[in-house]
A and B are shown apart, each in its own frame.
Chain A
Amino acid sequence: MIAAPGLDVPGELRLRLADLYAAYDDALDERDWERWPGFFTESAIYKVLPRENFEQGLPVAMVFCESRAMLADRVVALREALVFAPRLIRRVLGAPCLREIGSDGMRLGCSFALFETMLNEPSTVFLCGRLYDRVIEDAGVLRFAERIVVTDATNVPLSLIFPI
């Protein structure tokens, strides 16, 4: 957890933000997806889109959720509905950087790399990119009001199944 130069961030807030990111990563790395929606506010926006769309202002996203309930629906679909070959996705994140504290919350950026391991195959780089987050105080808890996942690759290897 780092802060942009000139931004005065109390030590306790830094720790709370670091805990939020660590707990989120822990849930996903342990494939405990049911915990995932809880890191978001009720009306949170969660999107995954290629940098191509992001930079040109094109609104379509590969994943486009507008509520915590939609995130929960994604998890149910992943558990109950989708048919896919067994695989693991390993997440590696850089240090989240607190870039701005505004009236609508704290804005953070963070780079990520995802590695994919199909059963019995060697691990490969799946996707890498940048997370653009907005975190707010939500009933005494820090939660994501927005997580925009921007992938560097315009081209996804086969399927994007798990939350990022």
Chain B
Amino acid sequence: MADGGTAGAGWSQRWPEPAAGLVPNWVYTDPDIFAREQERIFSGPSWLYACLEAEIPNPGDFTRSRLGAREVVVVRNRDGAVNVLVNRCAHRSARYCMTNRGTVKEFVCPYHQWTYDLDGKLLGLPFRRGYKGKGGMPEDFDPAGHGLETLAVARRNGVVFASFAQPNETLETYLGPKMLGYFDRVFDGRKLEVLGYMRQRIPSNWKLMMENIKDPYHASLLHVFLISFGLFRADQESSMEMDETGRHAVLVSRRAEDGDTAATGQMRSFRERFTLQDPRLIDPVREFPGNATVVLQTLWPNLIIQQQSNALAMRQIVPLDPRSFDLVWTVFAYADDKPELRERRMRQANLFGPAGLVSIDDSEAMLLSQAGIAGSDARDCVVELGGRDVADAPTMVTETLIRGMYRHYRAVMGL
């Protein structure tokens, strides 16, 4: 694969000018770009979200996860440490783990029964010495050199991250102090409990998911449900914040106590008479310190941490090819939640996921984006709202977070 600046058929793979305010459509379609993303971002020195520790509380517990194109098994070993092992047998590359979750003493590949311990070490293989002196592995075969591929692991307050490369920075440094503060706001050390999973396959480029969460502009216009019930509106106090690199961000919204309707004139989606027969669906209680009611954190490259009223979820992005990705929702609660709060979380989950009264709008918008991009590689998307710079902003009417992400992306991708 050539470095940046390769010319394609009939279009130039050169970032358009003004660079900060434009995103070329070919980043959403080109297979070479996708391959380079896998190499430099997902296999590079990034800390990728893998799972919650609550999914593997005891020794031998495992859960599968997908980090970019590769599937991994996250397992707690006998000492309580967490290992992230590639789900690929060191023998003939077969996927050795076929279930999403479970408890094991060791991993046995079904194909030829190569057996590994919970640290990925090869314990044994049938007929290593052959049968009656014939066949078998060569004399110099060393099991120590044929263990499962293991990843670097970082854990913080119940969340597991992993990396295919050994990052040159700790998870804490990778996130930076500002992002770490928001991370710790939700993951404050309290024990977590997984309430369930939702998965959906979205026919669009994976970066459009990140852009969607870094784009408060659409949220205040597209989502009739949020707007009409005052759950998220452009006239609410808000802030868009990034780490120093621009790769991570938070979108923070503070719901006004009184129903300010001054800006609803510009919101075509506002429905004055839209009422609910059963208002329990949108009946949040304040549970976090401070006055933020929505904090959506995008952690590069594969995680969105959702705190939207009382609905908590990890949204894991799994790129499949340039034009599709899986979105895996892990809905969670705190283990010490009162039943009443837990019910609220379950009810508010109606707004999110593949059937979410808010999220459906987003999924469908991504479908429309990818459909519009088709055949228009030589065209660009405009992200100039709020200027062409990359800086934190105290408004929803800005695309600064998207610009920040692409500034980092271009540096990593050599574009």
Residue in B196, B197, B225, B364 whose CB lies within 8 Å of A159: B364
Residue A59, interface by CB 8 Å:
yes
The secondary-structure label for the interface of chain A is: mixed
Of the listed stretches B105-113, B148-156, B199-207, B253-261, name the one at the interface; the rest are far from the partner chain.
Answer: B199-207
Q: Give the chain B neighbours of A161 by CB distance below 8 A.
A: 355, 360
Q: Which A116-150 residues sit within 8 Å CB-CB of chain B?
A: none
Given contacts A50-B199, A60-B198, A69-B277, contact A81 B364 (CB under 8 A): no
- Distance from A21 Cβ to chain B, minimum over Cβ atoms (Å): 22
Residue in B198, B347, B361 whose CB lies within 8 Å of A83: B361
Q: Which B183-217 residues sit within 8 Å CB-CB of chain A?
A: 194-203
Residue A58, interface by CB 8 Å:
yes
Residue in B200, B202, B346, B360 whose CB lies within 8 Å of A64: B346
Residue in A58, A60, A72, A160 whose CB lies within 8 Å of B354: A160
- Distance from B208 Cβ to chain A, minimum over Cβ atoms (Å): 13
A98–B161 Cα gap in the complex (Å)?
Answer: 48
A73–B281 Cα gap in the complex (Å)?
Answer: 9
Contact across chains for A64 and B224 when beta carbons are under 8 A apart = no
Q: Contact residue range for chain B?
A: 35 or more
A13–B369 Cα gap in the complex (Å)?
Answer: 51
- Nearest residue (CB) in A for B203 is A158
Contact across chains for A80 and B224 when beta carbons are under 8 A apart = yes
Q: Which A63-86 residues sit within 8 Å CB-CB of chain B?
A: 63-67, 69-70, 72-74, 76-77, 80-85
- Distance from B228 Cβ to chain A, minimum over Cβ atoms (Å): 7
Q: Give the chain A neighbours of B194 by CB distance below 8 A.
A: 58
Residue A15, interface by CB 8 Å:
no
Q: Give the chain A neighbours of B198 by CB distance below 8 A.
A: 50, 60, 62, 156
Contact across chains for A82 and B277 when beta carbons are under 8 A apart = no
Give 1 or 0 for each of B299-330: 1 = CB within 8 Å of chain A CB.
Answer: 00000000000000000000000000010000
Given contacts A60-B195, A73-B276, A81-B228, contact A159 B363 (CB under 8 A): yes
A65–B354 Cα gap in the complex (Å)?
Answer: 15
Contact across chains for B222 and A83 when beta carbons are under 8 A apart = yes
Q: Which B356-402 residues sit within 8 Å CB-CB of chain A?
A: 356-357, 360-361, 363-365, 367-368
Residue B278, interface by CB 8 Å:
yes
Contact across chains for A158 and B354 when beta carbons are under 8 A apart = yes
Residue A49, interface by CB 8 Å:
yes
Residue in B196, B197, B200, B281 whose CB lies within 8 Å of A158: B200
The secondary-structure label for the interface of chain B is: mixed
Residue in A48, A69, A84, A156 whose CB lies within 8 Å of B201: A156
Residue B350, interface by CB 8 Å:
yes
A161–B367 Cα gap in the complex (Å)?
Answer: 14
Contact across chains for B225 and A158 when beta carbons are under 8 A apart = no
Given contacts A50-B199, A155-B200, A157-B201, contact A77 B225 (CB under 8 A): yes
Q: Give the chain B neighbours of A52 by CB distance below 8 A.
A: 100, 196-197
Residue A61, interface by CB 8 Å:
yes
Contact across chains for A158 and B195 when beta carbons are under 8 A apart = no
- Nearest residue (CB) in A for B348 is A64
Q: Give the chain B neighbours of A73 by CB distance below 8 A.
A: 276-278, 281
A59–B194 Cα gap in the complex (Å)?
Answer: 9
A161–B196 Cα gap in the complex (Å)?
Answer: 20
A83–B365 Cα gap in the complex (Å)?
Answer: 8
Contact across chains for A158 and B331 when beta carbons are under 8 A apart = no
A72–B350 Cα gap in the complex (Å)?
Answer: 14
A85–B367 Cα gap in the complex (Å)?
Answer: 8
A97–B356 Cα gap in the complex (Å)?
Answer: 31
A3–B225 Cα gap in the complex (Å)?
Answer: 43
- Nearest residue (CB) in B for A151 is B354
Name the residue in A69, A74, A83, A84 with the highest tally of chain B Cβ atoms < 10 Å from its Cβ: A83
- Nearest residue (CB) in B for A82 is B360
- Nearest residue (CB) in B for A76 is B274
Residue in B225, B269, B354 whose CB lies within 8 Å of A62: B354
Contact across chains for B196 and A61 when beta carbons are under 8 A apart = yes
Contact across chains for A155 and B360 when beta carbons are under 8 A apart = no
Q: Which A36-61 residues sit within 8 Å CB-CB of chain B?
A: 48-50, 52-53, 56, 58-61
- Nearest residue (CB) in A for B100 is A52
Residue B129, interface by CB 8 Å:
no
Contact across chains for B277 and A70 when beta carbons are under 8 A apart = yes
Contact across chains for A58 and B195 when beta carbons are under 8 A apart = yes
Q: Give the chain A neighbours of B274 by CB distance below 8 A.
A: 76, 80-81
Q: Give the chain A neighbours of B353 by CB distance below 8 A.
A: 62
Given contacts A69-B278, A83-B222, contact A159 B347 (CB under 8 A): no
Contact across chains for A81 and B354 when beta carbons are under 8 A apart = no
Residues of B within 8 A of A (CB): 100-101, 194-203, 222, 224-225, 228, 269, 271, 274, 276-278, 280-281, 326, 331, 346-347, 349-350, 353-357, 360-361, 363-365, 367-368
The 4 closest A-B pairs by CB, nearest first: A60-B196, A69-B277, A58-B196, A69-B278
11 pairs, CB–CB < 8 Å, chain A vs chain B: A52-B100, A61-B349, A63-B350, A72-B277, A81-B224, A81-B271, A81-B274, A85-B364, A85-B368, A154-B197, A158-B364
What would 17 more interface pairs be, CB under 8 Å, given A48-B355, A60-B195, A81-B357? A49-B196, A50-B197, A53-B197, A58-B194, A60-B331, A61-B346, A62-B354, A62-B355, A70-B277, A74-B357, A81-B224, A83-B224, A84-B364, A155-B201, A156-B199, A156-B200, A158-B364
